[in-house]
Structure 1
Amino acid sequence: MTIPALSAADLPLLPDPDQAREWAEQELSDPVYQAAEPTVVDRIAQAVARFVRDLFTVPDTGGWGPWAFVVLGVIVVAVVVVALLIWGRPRLTPRAAPAVHALFDDDDVRSADELRADAAAAAARGDWDEAIVLRFRAFARGLAERGIVDPPPGATVRAFARAASAALPPLADALDTAAETFDDVRYLRRPGTAESYRVVADLDDAAVRARPAVPA
């Protein structure tokens, strides 16, 4: 820096504020000082380094500082993982329960298992008519509960038998015989027998084990 030459008499002991600022500006304008200043890249690197250092350093004051966000994030992730392990992935659309329709002109809303139990009780006391009707209803209700065949209200036994035969081809012959037995007992008032009940019960048992045909 070049300071104007002053005589000893002209040189003040303390410069006034304006003169001090002028001298400082002249001094800092020297290229040596400008070259020593950090560049934009240097400032960014220093800021990143400070952030990383603060992130992994717990202050002596006992406060958590940036660690609070790290711990909070770990807790949230752990809660989500535990929830998935316990309850599984959430379903986008809940599966609706199948509607319970009347079966063959009868507003019977019992489940397939309940109908089977009542049919077995009727068979045990020798009431074959009741046992046959209830067991065939159990067969139909079981297919409806599994979504294989869902008979609409007012569907006839024969219409149901055709739909069930298409879904379970290996049982078509037995199903036709059981449907005829149901019609004989329920509508034609023909007496049921133990053998007729066994035909219907065997069909129901086979249907429980069967898997529906896959459409081509």
Structure 2
Amino acid sequence: MSGHSKWNNIKRKKEKTDGAKAKVFTKIGRELAVAVKEGGGPDPASNSKLKDCIAKAKAANVPNDNIDRIIKRAAGDGDENKYENIVYEGYGPCGVAVIVEALTDNRNRTAADIRHDFDKFGGNLGTTGCVSFLFNRKGVLIIEREDQAEDKVMEDALEAGASDLQADEDVFEIYTEPDDFSGVLSDLTDKGYEFETAEVQMVPSTYVQVPESKQNSMQKLLDVLEDNDDVQNVWHNWEAPEEEE
């Protein structure tokens, strides 16, 4: 079993993205296109990066027609913008570790924007490797508990190849090695499970609490980073407080 539950942090991110589906779909579409061009072509059977992106897109309810159209367009010889993957690392208020994964066609613009955001909300942009050692890349699948028996979910998850499962009050958190993520997702989907979220994430090994006086700045930093069109993912180790119903 894992230690600290991740669901509260994931839920905050999910609630925000649920309210901005168009932007989410656009970002996932860009990620799919880059996976086709950089990962080895349009066939997910031979392109593991694309396979994981498709799984992420489906979990985010991107329509299959949209996914197919993006892949076909990316496989062509169009003159679309050339995007590059860049990872930024830094600290938020009170030493919260933050990793920002971006896809950009202008690295100078993106770097300036992200540095400005960190500075504005009490953080600072660091150097490569300054916080990444505090995270592990894992596949994360979240299933609502509802009336499902924990023993059955655990059995199915482990049989599918999951490395860990944690039972939260509201959900089951299933973890996989990155290379096993697509297979576990496919197997559990075939067994009828539906997911609140399913993607490969940077999962913190330790968490940081932020005093109430700094929580607003911390949340604003995360919000402005996630709203940046060049930013694909924002990972952090803030142990966010439970939100009141």
TM-score, L = length of structure 1: 0.21
Greater gyration radius: 1
The higher-RCO structure (CA 8 Å, 6+ apart) is 2
